[in-house]
Each structure stands twice: as structure tokens, then as C-alpha cells.
């Protein structure tokens, strides 16, 4: 996370967006709820809820019917593909949907496996969520060799030299996370993709954790496949898969006979979650709206090393009437503002935690580019106990391994219950961070 230029305050996103989130009204034991559980899933704005409800009231149907609601449903699907294309810097024909990222990734690994022979190699990382490890480990049954890139702890960065050394003539797939949902590390995926391409390997990027926190530009990133989940960025529970045009065309998916053999439908088995897709478009429009709200703000974010230039927001581009390119520009501006605002919150938390006795933070430091996901242990206290104490005071944090099981094992924390995880979203406030720190201070003093 980069520091703002001297004197430039990040835009106050919480003030702008909090009225849009009905869930924020919740109270727990007399305390207002503070949702620090974003890495598990964000809350949704009013327009997402309305879009889902409206779909079910007015358009509910299956596709390919010769009547109004069916045609409207097909429009909803097309709209959602365009919305995610704008969000991810892709074309609509490169966007497919599924139940969630995990299910899509299993479908992807099974499809790619049809072209793998015993002895072929897949490279995964020790930093990743199991959703980007287990689908590849499953291929060991057919003789595929899975190799894992090491993590350098306690900062939890990927050992890029090790990654480079694992790329060889038998490497067929590199499966890598964009960012760690457990500790907030942002990987140099562009460099990893470059290394994989040198040996002709297919690249699969898990962007589930990164997508809510930073701009993605699939076309300049160059990954063959990228997966994410709308419920992490203000949308409903729907998985999203980007497939680079040529790679997607080659993919041999498992399908039912009448299903289209063309991208993107070729990986979409069964009926899609139509109401969810209506919500996805509303989520992209919400992010674009956020970008419009900060249009006059002097954002200071500079692109980081390895970050695609095309991911930079164009300065001060208002959107109205929402042509696709206008929405994309507004989304990029919103993501730049989100990075700055959430980064400010994360830095405040990291600085406060450094002063608390018995707390060990894992992951990159406050000065490094990272997502605003802060994880720590409290000496002598089970993470679930800490989380339950905070939860009873309306402070919603997670405890455990968050399915980043290998990482937590490598950190030696598996048997002690893993980590306490605090995640920031644009609706979180500095006051909520102060409340969290005060509650932790009382917990430690008790």
C-alpha cells in the first residue's frame, strides 16, 4: 500500500458510501456492528439488493424462451458479462460465471487436465487459498506432479527465486494468487506470468482476495485465466472466471451435450444464478458510482512495480450514461480511492498493534504495498477466543486459517488455532479501528 503524497488525505469513502449499506445499521449487545470481515465477504449496497429483488419480481425465467421474461433474463446475463469485463479489463466473451470461485477452478483444472500426461508439472504456492491448491493437487491421481513455491516468513512473501527455479520443460500450469486472503501479501503476478510464459505454461490467477482492493487489467496482465468472487466486492455469491480469448477457445471443458461449445458458455454447466448476475451488474455500477463521487479528488496513488500501466485510473473522468469505457474509467478511479482509503485504515491498525504487548503481526509491513488485511496472534490466547470477545462487542473479525491452510501450517500456527484476521472495506471508519484497538487493549488487560 503506497503512502499518499504529503498533505493529500485519502477521500473519505466511508462518509460517502455508508448510507448505501443497510446492513451497517446492525447492533450487537448495544454496540454498532463494525464489519471487519470483508475478506470473508463484504456487505452489499442498496442497489444490489434492489437489482436482485427486481429480477425475481420482474424478469424471473430461464433462457432461450420465446417470451419477454426469458429475453430479459438473457439481457441480464449479457449485462453481467459486460459489467465484469469493465471490472476486470476484459471482453464480455471472456467472462464466465459459476457457483463460486472454487467450483469454477475445479472445472478449470479438470478441463486443463485433459491435456496433461503423467509427469507433467503444475506449480502452486504455499501462500494460496486451498481453492487454488486442491483442484491442482487432485490431478496427482493421474500422475501429474505438483510443486509448491515457498513463502518467506514472517512477511509472507513468495520466494520468487524458488518460483523461477520450479519453471521447467514439464511445467504445464502455474496457479498463483494475486493476493493472500490470510495476510494481505500482494504477489508480483506479472513477473510470475512472464516466467511461466517462458516455458509455455498456462497461468491461472486467483484474484478473489485482490479484486476488492486494487485495479485489475486482465488484458495487460496476460494471464490465461483469472478467477474471482463477486461477494467479496459488494455483490452476491457468484463466481467469475476470465479466460483469455485464445486460451478459453482451446479449453476442453466437461459439458452436457446441448451446451454451447464456445466461450464463455462452454464452462457454464446448468442454469446460472440469474438474480445473482443482476446483482453483479449493480455491484460494478456501485463501484463506478464510488469512482464518480471522488472524481474531483486529487488521488495520489502511483502504479507499483510490476503493475500494468493500463490499470491506472484516468484522472477525473466523470461517467454518466455509462458507456462501457466510461464505467471502466470510473471503476479504476474507485479502486485507486479504495486502495488509498483502506491503506490509511490498515496503517493505523498496524501502528496501533505494534504498541500492544503479546501481539505478533504476520504479513507485509505498513510501508509495503499490501491489501488492508491484517492478521495476528495474541500470545497465550486462542484466536477463536479473541474473535469471540471482539464479536460480542460488535467487532466482526475472523479467526482460523481461512483455508490458507498450508501457509498457516508453514507459520507453525496450525495447532494453536491460526490467526485473528481484520479486513478493511470502504465502509469501515477510523473510529471503528480505534474501537477495535480499545477492545483489544481491554482484552489484554483482563
Residues that bind ligand PLP in the complex, under the rule CB under 6 A: 100-102, 129, 131-132, 177, 181, 206, 208-209, 229, 239
Q: What angle do CA 140, 146, 152 make, to 5 degrees?
A: 145
d(CA 7, CA 12): 15
Nearer to ligand PLP, 54 or 130 (CB): 130
- Shortest separation between residue 430's beta carbon and ligand PLP, angstroms: 25
Q: What is the separation, in whole angstroms, between the first and last Cα of the chain?
A: 34
- CA separation (Å) from 372 to 173, 340, 347, 348? 29, 10, 8, 10
CA–CA distance, 379 with 310 (Å, rounded to integer): 44
Q: 235 or 308: whose CB is closer to ligand PLP?
A: 235
The neighbour count for residue 403, using CB atoms within 10 Å, is: 18
Nearest distance from C-beta of residue 132 to ligand PLP, angstroms = 6
Smaller CB separation from ligand PLP, 1 or 176: 176
DSSP calls for 343-396: HHHHHHHHHHHHTSTTEEEESS-TTS-B-SEEEEEETTB-HHHHHHHHHHTTEE
**H or E, element range at 240:** strand 239-243
Other CB atoms within 10 Å distance of the CB of residue 113: 21
- Min dist CB 161 to ligand PLP, Å, is 23
Nearer to ligand PLP, 189 or 295 (CB): 189
The distance of closest approach from Cβ of residue 41 to ligand PLP in the complex, given in angstroms and rounded to an integer, is 8
How far apart, in whole angstroms, are the C-alpha atoms of residue 22 and residue 427? Answer: 11
Question: Under a CB-based contact definition with an 8 Å cutoff, are residues 74 and 82 in contact?
Answer: no
Q: Which residue has the cell 520466494?
A: 159
Of 193 and 404, CB closest to ligand PLP: 404
CB of 303 to ligand PLP, least distance (A): 23
- Give least dist CB 204 to ligand PLP, A: 11
Smaller CB distance to ligand PLP: residue 239 or 363? 239
- Which residue, 206 or 342, is less far from ligand PLP as judged by CB? 206
| 26 vs 220: CA distance, rounded Å | 41
In the complex with ligand PLP, the residue whose CB is nearer, 83 or 439, is 83
At residue 44's C-alpha, the angle toward residues 41 and 50, to 5°, is 145
Nearer Cβ to ligand PLP (326/364): 364
Which are the contacts of 205, defined by CB distance < 8 A and separation ≥ 6? 176, 177, 178, 189, 193, 221, 223, 225, 226, 227
Q: What's the min distance (Å) between Cβ of 145 and ligand PLP?
A: 23
Taking the complex as a whole, the smallest distance from the CB of residue 403 to ligand PLP amounts, in Å, to 6
* 383-392 helix and 430-445 helix, angle to the nearest 10 degrees: 120
Locate 405 and state its grid cell: 491452510
User: Closest separation between CB of residue 101 and ligand PLP, Å?
Assistant: 4
Amino acid at each position: 500500500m503506497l503512502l499518499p503524497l504529503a498533505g493529500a488525505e485519502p477521500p473519505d469513502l466511508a462518509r460517502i458510501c455508508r448510507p448505501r449499506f443497510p446492513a451497517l445499521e446492525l447492533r450487537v449487545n448495544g454496540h454498532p456492528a463494525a464489519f471487519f470481515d470483508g475478506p470473508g465477504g463484504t456487505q452489499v449496497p442498496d442497489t444490489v439488493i434492489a437489482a436482485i429483488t427486481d429480477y425475481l419480481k420482474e424478469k424471473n425465467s430461464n433462457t432461450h424462451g420465446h417470451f419477454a421474461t426469458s429475453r430479459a433474463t438473457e439481457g441480464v446475463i449479457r449485462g453481467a458479462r459486460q459489467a465484469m469485463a469493465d471490472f476486470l479489463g476484459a471482453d464480455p466473451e471472456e467472462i464466465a460465471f459459476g457457483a463460486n470461485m472454487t467450483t469454477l477452478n475445479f472445472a478449470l483444472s479438470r478441463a486443463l487436465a485433459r491435456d496433461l500426461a503423467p509427469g507433467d508439472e503444475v506449480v502452486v504456492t504455499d501462500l494460496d487459498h486451498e481453492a487454488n491448491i486442491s483442484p491442482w493437487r487432485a490431478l496427482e491421481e493421474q500422475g501429474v506432479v505438483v510443486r509448491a513455491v515457498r513463502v518467506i516468513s514472517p512477511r509472507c512473501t513468495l520466494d520468487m527465486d524458488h518460483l523461477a527455479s520450479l519453471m521447467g520443460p514439464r511445467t504445464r500450469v502455474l496457479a498463483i494468487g494475486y493476493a493472500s486472503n490470510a495476510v494481505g501479501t500482494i504477489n508480483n503476478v506479472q513477473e510470475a506470468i512472464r516466467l511461466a510464459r517462458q516455458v509455455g505454461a498456462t497461468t491461472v490467477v486467483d484474484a478473489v482476495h485482490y479484486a476488492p482492493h486494487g485495479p485489475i487489467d486482465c488484458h495487460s496482465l496476460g494471464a490465461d485465466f483469472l478467477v474471482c468472487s463477486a461477494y467479496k466486492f459488494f455483490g452476491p455469491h457468484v463466481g467469475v472466471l476470465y479466460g483469455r480469448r485464445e486460451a478459453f477457445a482451446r479449453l476442453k471443458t466437461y459439458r452436457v451435450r446441448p451446451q454451447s461449445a464456445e466461450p464463455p458458455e462452454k464452462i457454464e454447466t446448468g442454469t446460472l444464478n440469474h438474480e445473482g448476475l443482476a446483482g453483479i451488474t449493480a455491484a460494478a455500477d456501485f463501484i463506478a458510482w464510488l469512482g464518480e463521487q471522488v472524481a474531483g479528488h486529487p488521488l495520489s496513488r502511483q502504479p507499483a512495480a510490476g503493475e500494468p500501466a493500463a490499470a491506472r485510473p484516468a484522472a477525473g473522468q466523470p461517467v454518466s450514461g455509462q458507456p462501457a469505457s466510461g464505467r471502466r474509467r470510473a471503476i479504476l478511479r474507485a479502486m485507486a480511492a479504495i486502495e488509498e482509503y483502506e491503506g490509511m485504515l490498515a496503517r493505523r491498525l498496524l501502528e496501533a498493534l505494534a504498541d500492544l504487548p503479546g501481539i505478533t503481526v504476520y504479513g507485509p509491513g505498513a510501508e509495503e504495498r499490501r491489501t488492508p488485511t491484517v492478521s495476528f496472534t495474541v500470545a497465550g490466547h486462542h484466536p477463536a477466543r479473541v474473535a469471540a470477545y471482539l464479536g460480542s462487542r460488535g467487532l466482526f473479525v475472523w479467526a482460523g486459517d481461512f483455508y490458507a491452510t498450508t501457509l498457516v501450517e508453514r507459520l507453525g500456527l496450525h495447532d494453536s488455532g491460526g490467526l485473528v484476521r481484520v479486513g478493511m472495506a470502504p465502509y469501515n471508519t477510523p473510529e471503528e479501528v480505534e474501537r477495535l484497538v480499545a477492545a483489544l487493549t481491554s482484552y489484554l488487560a483482563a
